[in-house]
Amino acid sequence: MPDSRVLTGAAGLGYVVAAAIENMGALEAPPAGAGAARIRDAYADHALQLVTWLAGATSLVFYCAFALGLCRIAAGSVRASAGGRARLAAPRVALGGALLAAALAAAALAAASALVADSDGIAGDRVESLFAFFDGARLAAGAFMAVFLFGTAAAALRSGALPRVLAVAAYAIAPALLFGPLTAATGGDGVRVAAFVAFGLHSLWIACVGLWLALGRDTSPAELVRRAAFLVLALAAGLVGAALIAVPGATGRFFAWELAPPPLAAFAGGVYVGSAAVYAAALRAPWREVRGLVVAAAVLSSSVFAITLAHLDVFDFGRLQAWAWIVLFALFSAIMAMLAARRSHDQRPGAPPPPAARALLAAVAALLAPLAAALWLDPGSLSGASPIDLPPLGGRFAGSWIAMLAVLAGWAALRNTREEARYPALALVALPLGALAAAPHLAAGSAAPYAAGLLLLGAAGAAVLASLEPAARRVAIRA
């Protein structure tokens, strides 16, 4: 069972993800002092508002769990350090601030629940007052978030419960959170922007603390970055993929762009979920086993970023999702490229896989690489052979995922070690099985060949995995 530090870190990361979902419509939110008609327009999309409301409620649960766990860790460290019980005030103040912030945010969500349920059935002045309270209470919570950061920083600097850089960052961010209540009191647009930046820095701080607690206390900075990148990929791909599978026809409301037609959206959702499973499984694996996954992620992210820049006209930059897509893929491609260039300190030769497994991996790479290249160059040229309609951006996006699988298979064949073949083989099982999510959305005549091709690809991955097992079992027996 994970220890309390890992659980606290996981709660912090859960808060960040849930808060990001809650605020994905922030750029389209009504401004302060908006009239009833403008507020009703914002709440007209009941499905989206329900999702963001539920994400907000979930984020509060995670926030309280994170604050409780972190303050307990800080209190324990204070007791163990010089000063003992006499210096427990700081973690107690920090916990009190966090709980008061959560209480204010919960009151804001309670007010918003009526708007989510039926804003049209409420009188205009009541709509305006409910939204004003919702907006003001969330901003005012910044004061208590600042108390939480101040108390945590004081306890951490005294006891060493957190790395010094995180404690100092908490001190630096805390005063900026006071822009929240200032905005609630004055309603100034400039102050509101500063408040939202402060809330973003607060979430970033929680993400860094969560990552350090969950993944990085006993590892090098480079390995922490790698694990953090894998974790972000697993969480983001899993959540987005599940949404694409569940509602492939509604991508215009929650995705970065309108990914259509629905079979293509379901395909993307399936490979997202499959990749999330693979990267989650590899989270704590040794570097030499996961370097292929890093190289493949670098190819995926850099190619998606490149095709995005070639199709900027498809994106609506009045939506936060579009900006998040650009920024995240730009950062992720740079981080993955740097990690891919990192050299392994473990130069021991690995045991090779069976020759048949290597040949199978090479054959998969040779089959998929030209298909990816064709999709990148001109998706329309494959429209007659593809069971899914392939618009320019969507087709090239699919090509990036196919290129990722080609790189994984090619890397494992080139490196020719059992350790470096395991996760690529797992990806050759997980991603094709995930892509089967598109089959129910296809015409009857094309669904069967599509499914058969994916199952054949998955069988190839399973055969490679099976060929690696006997050696692993013999090593375990010797140990």
**Rg (the chain; Cα; Å):** 25
264 — phi, psi (to 5°)?
A: -70, -40
Q: What's the confidence (pLDDT) of residue 474?
A: 44
Distance between CA 461 and CA 451 in Å, rounded?
Answer: 15
With a cut of 60, say whether residue 2 has pLDDT above it.
Answer: no
475 pLDDT tier (thresholds 50, 70, 90): very low
DSSP letter assigned to residue 144 = H
Distance between CA 337 and CA 301 in Å, rounded?
Answer: 9
Q: 404-458, pLDDT tens digit by residue? A: 999 999 999 999 999 999 999 999 999 999 999 999 999 878 899 999 999 999 9
CB-based contacts of 335-343 (< 8 A; 24+ apart in sequence): 335/225, 335/229, 336/229, 336/294, 336/297, 336/298, 336/301, 336/302, 337/298, 337/302, 339/222, 339/225, 339/226, 339/229, 339/294, 339/298, 340/291, 340/294, 340/295, 340/298, 342/222, 342/287
Helix (H) or strand (E) holding 128: helix 124-159
Q: Rounded to the nearest 10 degrees, what angle do helices 124-159 and 189-211 cross at?
A: 50
* CA–centroid distance for 353 within its chain: 33
69 pLDDT tier (thresholds 50, 70, 90): very high
Q: 101-153, pLDDT tens digit by residue? A: 999 999 999 999 998 888 788 888 898 899 999 999 999 999 999 999 999 99
Name, in order, each residue with C-beta under 8 angstroms of 174's C-beta and a sequence gap of 6 or more.
Answer: 145, 146, 147, 149, 150, 153
Helices (H) and strands (E) in the chain, counts: 17, 0
CB contact at 8 A, 227 and 284: yes
Distance between CA 145 and CA 180 in Å, rounded?
Answer: 10
392 — phi, psi (to 5°)?
A: -55, -55
With a cut of 50, say whether residue 195 has pLDDT above it.
Answer: yes
| Tokens standing for residue 213 | 């607690």
303-to-14, 215, 379 alpha-carbon distances in Å: 28, 28, 15
CB contact at 8 A, 268 and 325: no
239 — phi, psi (to 5°)?
A: -70, -45
Name, in order, each residue with C-beta under 8 angstroms of 421's C-beta and a sequence gap of 6 or more.
Answer: 353, 357, 358, 361, 412, 415, 464, 468
Q: 261-318, pLDDT tens digit by residue? A: 999 999 999 999 999 999 999 988 988 899 999 999 999 999 999 999 999 999 988 7
CB contact at 8 A, 238 and 268: no
DSSP letter for each residue of 196-210: HHHHHHHHHHHHHHH
Domain ranges for the chain, please list them: 4-217, 223-478
